[in-house]
Chains A and B, each alone.
Chain A
Amino acid sequence: MRSFVFPEFQIIRDEEKCGQCRACERHCSFGVHTYDPVADRLVSDERKCAGCQRCAVFCPKGAIIVRPSPSYYRPNASWSREKIEDLKRQAETGGVLLTGCGSDKPFRIYWDHIVLNASQVTNPSIDPLREPMELRTFLGRKPDLMEIAAEDGDIEIKTELSPNLVVETPILFSAMSYGAISYNAFRSLATAACRSKTYFNTGEGGLPREMRDEFGRCAIVQVASGRFGIDAEYLNCAQAVEIKVGQGAKPGIGGHLPGEKVSASVAETRMIPPGTDAISPAPHHDIYSIEDLAMLISALKEATNYEKPISVKIAAVHNFAAIATGIVHAGADIIAIDGLRGGTGAAPKAIRDNVGIPTELAISSLDRRLRDEGIRNRCSIITAGGIRCSADVVKAIALGADAVYIGSAALIAMGCTLCQKCYTGKCNWGICTQDPRLSGRLNVDIASARLTNLISAWSHEIREMLGGMGINALESLRGNRDHLRGIGLYEWELDVLGIKGAGE
C-alpha cells in the first residue's frame, strides 16, 4: 500500500560543499542516502529519515542540514500534523503505534516553573571551592529510633541497621536493559557508575556473567514481570535489587522486546532462546496485591541473605501515593517513582502520551504522604522521569526525593538525539541496537568518559547551588520546600507541590 504520510524531515545537501565521500551513506542505518554513480552525487530518500542527525554530525564537510519538513497540511488546531499522520500510519498497517523516548507532549514542566533560593547577607552562602560539601547519600531504610552506647569516647550503634546503598552524588543511572540498549552502551553506563561512585540499574534484561565480578559492586539489578536473566548469583552480585512494577513511559502495561533484538548474547543474558520475543507481561503474575508484593520483597531479602536493600519501582499515577505507603509497609527499602515523561526503548504512543502524572507533582505528594503517615524514614525515594539538568536534581531533592535516576540524560550524554526510533533497533548512535555494525560505533571508553563528565559537572553545579543557599549538606535540602518558589502556577499546583508562589 502506498503510504500517504509525507516525510517528517527535509534533507538539504550543499552540493558546493559535498565531496561525494559517501560518509552519510555509510552512517545512515535507515538507508536514506545513496550514491548515484551516473550523476556522481548523493541522493536522499527523505521518507526514511528519522531525524537523528548522525549524518549531519559526521559529514566531514558539514554539507548536510536535516530539519523538520516545512511542508504542512492546512493548519488545524484539532487535527495537528502528528494526529493526521499517526492516523494514516494506522490506516495503512492496522497496528499499535510504537515509539521510543519519553513523552514529547507539552505537559507542563514544573521544573521550569520553580525557582531556587539563595543566601543574601544573613546566613551567608558557602563557597564549595573552599568548604566541604556533602553530597553523599544513603539509600534504604533508616531505623525509627537509634539506640547508641558511648564507651571510652567510642560511639556504638546498638540498633540493627538495614542495608543501605551509598552514593557519592545523588544521581543514579536509570534502568536500561541489555537488549533494549547495546552491550557497549550498557557497559559504558556500568563503567561510569563505578567510576562516579554511584549505581547503574541493569533493567530487566539480566547482567552478562562476565560483568558480574567487575560491575556488581555498582549495580542495582532488576526483577521484572518477565523475570529475565535472574538467578541467585545475579541477585547476590549486585548491591540492591529492584522490583519493577511500573514504568513512567508505559504505566500499566508490559513490554515486548522484539525477536530481532534478541541476539545470541542478549538471549544468553536474558536466558531465553535467541530470536524469540522477550515478553514482559503487564503485571507480575505472582503479585496481585500488596500482600503478594510483600512476599516477593521478602523472598528477595531471603535470596540475598538480608544484605541488600530492595527497591520497588512504580509509575506515578493518580493514587500512587496511597499505594506507595502500602509498598513501604510491604517492606520496600527504596521506592523508585517514575513520572509521565520517563523514557523507554519502546512503548505504545497512546500510553506514553496519555497515562501517568508528572514526576514533580509525584515526588511532592509521595514525600508528604509518607511523612503524614510517619514512615518517611522507612524508605528512600529515587525519582525518575524527565530530569534534564543539575537544577532539576536540586529541585527534586527539595521536593522530597533522596536521589534521582537519569535515563534519557545519560543516553544523550552518549550521543542520543531523542529521535524516538529506539524500537526499530537501528539506532545510528549505537545505543539502542543489537546490530554489531551500529553498536560498534559506541566506544566504551569515550562514552563512559562522557557519562563520568556529566555526573561530575552536575555534582559540581549541585554543590554551587547548595552553597548559594547556604547549605553544606544535601541532607539539609531534602524535602526543604522553603527553598523553592513557584512561578506561573495555579493555586492547586502550588498546593500539590507544597511550595509558595514567588515573592511570598
Chain B
Amino acid sequence: MARAVTSEPGIFGARQYYQNVEIPSIDARGLETRELNDQLRELMLSGGKRVQITNVCGQRYIGTRLYTPEHLEMEIEIFGTPGNDLAAFLYGHHKITVHGNAQDGVGNTMDDGEVVIDGRAGDVLGFSMRGGEIYVREGCGYRTALHMKEYDGKRPVLVVGGTSQDFLGEYMAGGIVIILDMEVQSHKANFIGTGMHGGVIYLRGDVDQSQVGDQVEISPVDEADRTVLDDYVSRFLERFPEVEKRKYEILNSQFVKLAPRSKRPYSDLYAY
C-alpha cells in the first residue's frame, strides 16, 4: 500500500520538493475518517516509520489509533486540513506535522509525542494535555490548554506563534504554555487562567489584570523563565524556518508570566 506521491496535485497536493522522496504515502481523498486511520495503523504495524498523507480534508482523530503495546513510533506529515481531535490521546513518540491549518481539539488528552502545525489551530487546543509538545505557527481559538496537567517528569509544552482567544489555561494544573503573539496584535483574551492551580503561561507583551482569573498571579519573567523561553522559542523557530524573526528579536521583548497563586484554589469553599 506504500506508494510514492504522484505528481498530480490534489486540492491540497504535496509540495513539489516532496515528490521525489521515497516516503510511503496515503492519499486521503475520499477516505472516511475510519478508513484513513485503518490505513495509517496498518502501515505502522507493517513497519512503516514515516508517512505522508495527502489531500487530507476533515478526517478526524489522525494519530489517535497509533497505540501498540510495543510502542511503535511514526513520523506523519499531513497535507491539507486534518479534522477535529488531531492527535487526541496521542501516546508514545509519534511526530505529526501538518502543512496547513488544523481544526478543533488538537492534542486532546495527548500523552506524549510532538505535533507541529504550520498554520493555525482551532478551539480546545491542548485540552487536558499531559505530555509531549505542540507547536502552532499562527494563532488558535478558544479554551486553549484548558486543564493541561503535569506529573513528575511529564510536562506538556504548547507554543503558539499567534495569540489565543478567551479561556486560555482555564483550570490549568501543569505544563508550559507560551503565546508569542508574533504579529503583535496584543492579547485580547479574557478569563485567562480561571481556576488555574498549576503550570505556567508566558505571554509575550502584556496583559491586564482584568483579563485573568482571580486565581492567577501576573509577574515579570526571571532568569529561570528566560532559560525556559530560550529553549522553547529555539525549538519553535527550528520547526518553522520560514518565520522571519530572529530568536533574539523575540526574546528581547517583554514577557509576562502567569502562575497560580495556590495549588488549592478552592480550599476555603467548604464548611467541614
Contact = CB atoms under 8 A, between A and B. Distances in A.
Chain B associates with chain A: yes
Contacts of A95: 268-272
Interface string A94-123: 111110000000000000000000000000
A302 B34 CA distance: 8
A299 B63 CA distance: 10
B146 interface: yes
B78 interface: no
A275 interface: yes
B105 interface: yes
A233 B41 CA distance: 16
Contacts of A286: 105, 108, 124, 127-128, 143
Contact of A98 (B111, B147, B150, B272): B272
B266 interface: yes
A401 B170 CA distance: 38
B86 to A, nearest CB: 10
A299 B91 contact: no
B159 to A, nearest CB: 21
17 contacts: A95-B272, A98-B271, A230-B89, A230-B130, A232-B111, A259-B264, A271-B151, A277-B263, A277-B265, A279-B147, A281-B147, A281-B195, A285-B127, A295-B60, A295-B85, A299-B108, A302-B61
Given A256-B269, A298-B61, 17 more contacts: A93-B271, A95-B271, A227-B127, A227-B147, A231-B130, A236-B67, A268-B152, A271-B150, A271-B154, A272-B151, A272-B174, A279-B197, A281-B195, A285-B146, A295-B105, A303-B89, A305-B41
A268 B151 contact: yes
Which of A231, A258, A275, A281 has the largest count of B CB atoms less than 10 A from its CB?
Answer: A231
A430 interface: no
Interface in A216-272: 223, 225-228, 230-233, 235-236, 256, 258-259, 267-268, 270-272
A276 interface: yes
B237 to A, nearest CB: 30
B193 interface: no
Interface in B77-132: 84-85, 88-92, 105, 108-109, 111, 124, 127-128, 130
Contacts of B272: 93, 95, 98, 423-424
A89 B151 contact: no
Interface of A: 89-90, 92-98, 223, 225-228, 230-233, 235-236, 256, 258-259, 267-268, 270-273, 275-277, 279, 281, 285-286, 295, 298-300, 302-303, 305, 423-424
Nearest to B154: A271
Nearest to B62: A302
B93 to A, nearest CB: 13
A300 B88 CA distance: 9
B263 A273 contact: yes
Interface of B: 33-34, 37, 41, 60-61, 64-65, 67, 69, 84-85, 88-92, 105, 108-109, 111, 124, 127-128, 130, 143, 146-147, 149-152, 154, 170-171, 173-174, 195, 197-198, 263-272
A276 B263 contact: yes
Contact of A277 (B92, B151, B266): B266
B83 to A, nearest CB: 9
B67 to A, nearest CB: 4
A302 B64 contact: yes
A231 B149 CA distance: 13
A164 to B, nearest CB: 20
B64 A303 contact: yes
Nearest to A277: B264
Contacts of B264: 258-259, 275-277
Contacts, number: 152
Nearest to A285: B146
A272 B155 CA distance: 10
Contacts of A275: 263-264
Nearest to A93: B271
B173 A299 contact: no
A275 B197 CA distance: 11
A90 B85 contact: no
Q: Which 8 pairs, one residue from A and one from B, show the smallest C-beta to C-beta distance?
A: A95-B271, A232-B91, A232-B67, A227-B128, A93-B271, A302-B64, A271-B151, A303-B89
Contacts of B263: 259, 273, 275-277
Contacts of B170: 281, 285
A372 B154 CA distance: 49
A299 B85 contact: yes
Which of B34, B60, B150, B269 has the largest count of A CB atoms less than 10 A from its CB?
Answer: B269
Contacts of B60: 295, 298-299
Given A235-B89, A279-B173, A271 B130 contact: yes
A279 B33 CA distance: 33
A231 B111 CA distance: 6
Contacts of A225: 147
B184 to A, nearest CB: 29
Given A97-B271, A231-B91, A271 B67 contact: no
A223 B109 CA distance: 10
B173 A272 contact: yes
A340 B152 CA distance: 39
Contacts of A98: 270-272
A305 B65 contact: yes
A276 B65 contact: no
A258 B105 contact: no
A271 B149 contact: yes
A214 B193 CA distance: 39
A285 B197 contact: no
Contacts of B173: 272-273, 276, 279
Which of B152, B195, B264 has the largest count of A CB atoms less than 10 A from its CB?
Answer: B264
Contact of A285 (B90, B124, B267): B124
Contacts of B147: 225-227, 279, 281, 285
A371 to B, nearest CB: 29
Given A98-B272, A273-B174, A303-B65, A233 B151 contact: no
Nearest to B173: A272
A92 B65 CA distance: 53
Contacts of A223: 109
Contacts of A96: 269-271
A233 B112 CA distance: 12
Contacts of A277: 197, 263-267
Contacts of A90: 271
Contacts of B149: 227-228, 271-272
